[in-house]
Amino acid sequence: MKKTPLDQILYFLKSRGPATAGDIGNFLDISKPGAQQNLAKAAREGLIYFEDRAEGRGRPRRYWHLTEKGHARFPDRHSDLSVDLLKSAEKLFGAEGLEKLIRDREAETLAKYREKLESEADIAGKIARLAALRNAEGYMASWREIGGGEYLFIENHCPICAAAAFCQGLCRSELEIFRKAFGAHATVERTDHILSGARRCAYRICKTPQAE
């Protein structure tokens, strides 16, 4: 189904972060006034808001952001059910049982990722494959090379955010999965975290000497 201009604007802001009407007009291939008209509609619906930033001389530039309602247009995979199941697991089996559940999920996910990443010959290929896997799971992942054997891996959406907010062991597990999936080929550090207030989750992946 074809996306409406409103859908495209929300996707652009979700995947790229704050943007001006000019940026959005270029993305939609429409005039700046046309973009402003669509932005005004999205703002009336409570999906976006703006801030004016002073950038050198001249008038401040207006940047548009998603509101919580706008972020909610990108689904959290069965969030209520996931949280309810986690609460029930904790009630029935305690913190230790919940931890076992997380470890079991981690092992299954890690096995799947390792199988896919092992077929790639270099770090860039492994990162690209991981991005494809995470995109299929709804994370809106992307990556780019920073230089010197370092890469930035970005996830603009967290489809398990509600569950992770209740059980932050899930976020710890996600980081461990990445580290173990790359093994001796790379080190992985989280640099941005949605649950800490960031717009996205981001990871710095550094190739190790063993990967040369």
**Pick from 20-24, 58-62, 94-98, 183-187: least confident:** 94-98
Q: Concatenate the DSSP letters of all residues of 168-203 into one string.
A: THHHHHHHHHHHHHHGGGEEEEEEE-GGGT-SSEEE
Q: What is the DSSP letter of 208?
A: -
Task: Give the β-pairing of 48-53 and 201-207.
Answer: unpaired
CB atoms within 10 A of CB 119: 9
Say if CB 173 and CB 102 are below 8 A apart. Answer: yes
Q: What region does 202 belong to: left with phi over 0, alpha with psi -120 to 50, or beta?
A: beta
Q: What does pLDDT average to over the chain?
A: 87
Instruction: Give percent above pLDDT 90 in the chain.
Output: 49
Residue 78's beta-bridge partner residues? Answer: none
Question: How far apart are alpha carbons 149 and 142 in whole angstroms?
Answer: 17
Mean of pLDDT values over 154-177: 84
- pLDDT at 82 (0 to 100): 67
Question: How far apart are alpha carbons 167 and 117 in whole angstroms?
Answer: 27
Token pair, residue 50, equals 């703006």
Check residues 32 and 211 and name the one with the higher pLDDT: 32
Residue type, 46: G
- pLDDT at 79 (0 to 100): 60
Q: What region does 78 belong to: left with phi over 0, alpha with psi -120 to 50, or beta?
A: left
pLDDT at 97 over 90: no
Residue with tokens 């370092």: 150
Domains of the chain, first to last? 5-71 (1.10.10.10), 79-211 (3.30.1380)
Question: How far apart are alpha carbons 12 and 70 in whole angstroms?
Answer: 12
Residue 58, CB-side half-sphere exposure with 13 Å CA sphere? 4
